[in-house]
Amino acid sequence: MINRIFISLITLLVLALRIDAAMVRVIGVTDGQTLVVERGGVAVSIKLAGISITDDAGARTLMKWTIGASWVMLEEQPDGGHFVYRSPDALFINRELVARGFARATLPAIEPQSNVIVTYLGTLSPTARSPAASGTGSAPTPRSPARPSRPRRRRKP
């Protein structure tokens, strides 16, 4: 029993150290594609992966505004560069630059969704009702036309 607890504590400690290592504080923004972060007490420049900057001044301004001096999580990519996620809301900075028009995606993982997700409330009938469908129970029965009202009689004085 004690061995299980000891092994569980060691595993949790290793996982906590691993998770903590991915989080770094942003010190500054060099250009539209490069951040300066503090890693282990040392300032390190990192380059964003999967994007090609089209508007450097706009990208720099967006990064200063969105991440400034906050904490970010870095995900190193095999081809070089990093995916950057802002803490605590996990905003994907690389994709945000593409979505706002300051960069072009060079990896398919960066492309923003091109379809709109829609939630319908209530019933949905995308097809038009055909005359053949009436009487089958699939459509409501049409109402009978309203009866014409009688003309009002005028009162005699």
Q: Does a structural domain hold residue 69? A: yes
When divided into structural domains, the chain yields a total of 1
Kindly write down the DSSP assignment for every residue of 48-97, as one continuous string. Answer: BSSEEES-HHHHHHHHHHHTTT-EEEEEE-TTSSEEEEETTT--BHHHHH
What CATH number is given to the structural domain containing 60? 2.40.50.90
The H or E element containing residue 3 is helix 2-22
**Does some domain include residue 98?**
yes
Structure confidence by residue, pLDDT tens digits, 108-134: 888 877 777 777 777 767 776 555 555
Q: Are 129 and 139 in contact (CB under 8 A)?
A: yes
Tell me whether residue 145 is in a domain: no
d(CA 57, CA 59): 6
The answer to whether residue 121 is domain-embedded is no
What is the residue-level pLDDT of the chain in tens, covering all 157 positions? 777 776 776 766 555 545 544 799 999 999 999 999 999 899 999 999 999 999 999 999 999 999 988 999 999 999 899 999 999 999 999 999 999 999 999 988 888 777 777 777 777 677 765 555 555 555 555 666 666 666 767 777 6
Residue 52's domain spans which residues?
A: 23-105
